[in-house]
Structure 1
Amino acid sequence: MLWTLAGILLVLWVLGLIFKIAGGVIHILLVIALLVIVYKVIKGRVTG
């Protein structure tokens, strides 16, 4: 589920950059997506 959320946020970020939508909000989406990915990777390594 987290990978799906991260993927959706990344797609929205790319679309925002392409169509110049929402200015700074697009970068917030990127940061959120990256945090989700990092969390998933760290959680995966800790739990094995």
Structure 2
Amino acid sequence: MLGWALTFLVIALIAAALGFGGIAGASAGIAKILFVVFLILFVVAMIARAAKGKPPV
């Protein structure tokens, strides 16, 4: 998930550098959404792991 977010971020940066504003904006938006989803899933996984009694890695 984080890899996809980074991929869209790179696409957005390249598109912005080449002057493609629409593509850059869309790619940056997708990257933001994927990053937030990644953070939410990460926090849920850490809470679930703590609830099982396993220490964090």
What is the TM-score of this pair, normalised by structure 1? Answer: 0.72
Secondary structure in 2 aligned to 1:23? helix
2:3 aligned partner, one-letter code: V
1:11 aligned partner, one-letter code: G
Identity of aligned residues (%): 25
- Paired residue for 1:36? 41
Q: Which runs of 5+ in 2 are unaligned?
A: 13-23
Residues 1:15 and 2:20 are matched in the alignment: no
Larger relative contact order (CA 8 Å, sep ≥ 6):
1
Larger C-alpha radius of gyration, 1 or 2? 2
Ranges of 4+ aligned residues in structure 1 off by more than 3 Å: none
RMSD: 1.2
